[in-house]
Amino acid sequence: MAQTAPTFMQLTKYLLVGGAGLALLAGAQTPPAAPAPVASTTPAAPPAPTGAAAASPTRVLTLEETVKLALEHNLDIQIQRLALPVDRFQIGVTEGAYDPVFKFTANANYSATPSSGFIQGTTIPLNPNIVSTTSYTPDISGTLQSGLTYDISGPLSDSTSPTGTIPGYAHYNTSPGITLRQPLLKNLWIDNPRYQILLNKYQLRVDEAGLRLQIMTTVNNTKAAFFNLIYARDNVQVKDLALKLAQQLLTENRKKVEVGSLAPLDEKQAQSQAASAKADLIAAEQALVAQENVLIGLITDKFSEWSGVRPVPAESLVAVPPELNLQDSLRDGIAKRPDYLQAKLQVESQNITVRYTRNQVFPELDITGSYGRRATDPGFESAINDVTAGNTPYYSAGVFVSIPLGNRAASNNYKAAKETVKQLLAKMKKSELGIVIAIDNDVKTVRSDYERVQATREASAYAKDALDAEQKKLENGKSTSFVVLQLQSNLTSAKSAELRALADFNIAVQQLAFDDGTLLERSHIGVSVK
């Protein structure tokens, strides 16, 4: 026996099944200890979109899986994470200022000087004076973190004179020693290498906080996109069922017009409603495609892997009564927000600049000293023995003073650094104020969105009752098609508003967790920086 087409009343009831299911699911939830993600954990993906899109392959994703994909493949996180090794290398670069430098030079010199004398009794000049010298100079120099500079050198030369006053004369000269220079004012408690090292270490901490902030931002955006995708898919189903209702009513009105029991105007009104419902469905499907791409852009770094694949949420939206504590959220926000921590680190880093520029205002007052031993012997071993014995030492001590007259550059750098601290403190205070206001707004938004969910749910129920009652009146000839069409439109709008309120509530809960800095904790996500 052939099946008959569903009646208008049956399609109306079908449209309302989703709303009743959502209400029952929400009522079955237990309140959490604090605002947390509120998507059901039971896989209950909504029906696939209609039309050509229904043939596209899909991938069902839970909220947890979606966030995991975002953490693994989101490009913004990858970019921020790559800043950390760069910072560490920069620290190594500046610490390299304290690496000692080894230098070695070797020279061979030959010198022939014309003789000023003659062989006795003749006019024949004596042989020219010839000196051949080979010299070696090893040297190690560097700077200590106290600002002390050192230079350790051990020059050694071997000189021979095969002709001249004393033919065949040879000797070794050596004078190993050390030279030190220690600043007492400028560059004593901080110099440029130490200053750069400290700045780079603070930059690493700033970028570590930036990575945590980017992870939080990505998680927040991903969850919001996930909730919006659930709304978009559910909204397509609402619009699709609304179109079916409008088409069914159009079919019934057309039959009544043909038998003369209904005016042609009623058929035209039903046609208009069906056309509007179809346009709404097309717009909802396009919004769904766009929202799918938003989510895909957050969870992958290779769009080709998702080309033609449609992500399908495995959960449905629910509204759990929130337990809110404004004071706890404010305290958490100031203590845990990475961007506020960044503002504090920038102030601390600028204080290092103040310290450095203040030290540069002082004049240079350095003490210098050197000590070494000399030896000149015909043999290498004897020269080394003389150095070891220390029979011919040399040493020196001195003071170096440099006082810039006026010193305007250093003085103004110091003043500018102090004013910059004030500016950064004002920015930090502004950041704190922004956090406080955002959290206060979030708490109020969560409360109002929860109330909106309840109100839109009631509105859907009332719209259903009104449509049911008017449909019965229409069947009994006591109403018009126009009124039924209007109530049908009201029901569709109420269902869409209910879905939107559910999505907004879930997004608001996540935004509160983001603004008070507890999003990663509530999502059970740990951040390790290596």
Question: Based on the domain organization, do 250 and 203 belong to the same domain?
Answer: yes
Question: Based on the domain organization, do 81 and 218 belong to the same domain?
Answer: yes
**Quick check: is 158 in a domain?**
yes
- In this predicted model, what pLDDT tens digit does every residue of 266-310 receive, in sequence order? 788 888 888 988 999 999 999 999 999 999 999 998 888 888 899
Question: Based on the domain organization, do 220 and 276 belong to the same domain?
Answer: yes
Question: Based on the domain organization, do 69 and 33 belong to the same domain?
Answer: yes
210-219, 318-327, 378-387, 406-415: segment of lowest average pLDDT: 378-387
Q: How far is the C-alpha of 186 from the C-alpha of 182, rounded, in Å?
A: 10
Question: Based on the domain organization, do 164 and 56 belong to the same domain?
Answer: no
Q: What's residue 272's pLDDT?
A: 86
Distances 292 to 95, 229, 232, 458 between C-alpha atoms, Å: 48, 7, 9, 30
Question: Based on the domain organization, do 157 and 124 belong to the same domain?
Answer: yes
Question: Based on the domain organization, do 440 and 336 belong to the same domain?
Answer: yes
Question: Based on the domain organization, do 78 and 204 belong to the same domain?
Answer: yes
Q: What's residue 29's pLDDT?
A: 35
Residue 340: CATH number of its domain: 1.20.1600.10
* 3-class DSSP state of 368: strand
**Quick check: is 357 in a domain?**
no
Residue 102 has pLDDT above 60, yes or no: yes
Question: Based on the domain organization, do 373 and 434 belong to the same domain?
Answer: no
**Quick check: is 93 in a domain?**
no
H/E segment holding residue 288: helix 264-299
Higher pLDDT, 158 or 169: 158
Question: Based on the domain organization, do 42 and 107 belong to the same domain?
Answer: no
Q: How far is the C-alpha of 500 from the C-alpha of 50, rounded, in Å?
A: 20
**Quick check: is 287 in a domain?**
yes
Higher pLDDT, 196 or 478: 196
Confidence of residue 12 (pLDDT cuts 50, 70, 90): very low
Q: What's residue 36's pLDDT?
A: 43
Q: What's residue 114's pLDDT?
A: 67
Asked if 404 and 410 touch (Cβ cutoff 8 Å), the reply is yes
**Quick check: is 7 in a domain?**
no
Range of the domain at 121: 101-144+148-186+364-402
Question: Based on the domain organization, do 430 and 482 belong to the same domain?
Answer: yes
**Quick check: is 28 in a domain?**
yes
**Quick check: is 499 in a domain?**
yes
Question: Based on the domain organization, do 80 and 138 belong to the same domain?
Answer: no
Instruction: Give the pLDDT mean for 340-368.
Output: 96
Contacts of 529 (CB under 8 A, 6+ apart): 84, 208, 211
Counted domains in the chain: 2
Q: What's residue 385's pLDDT?
A: 87
Q: In the structure encoding, which two tokens stand for residue 461, read together?
A: 């129920």
Surface-to-core class of residue 152, CB atoms within 10 Å of its CB (0-12 exposed, 13-18 middle, 19+ buried): middle
118-122, 273-277, 489-493: segment of lowest average pLDDT: 118-122
15-24, 399-408, 446-455, 482-491: segment of lowest average pLDDT: 15-24
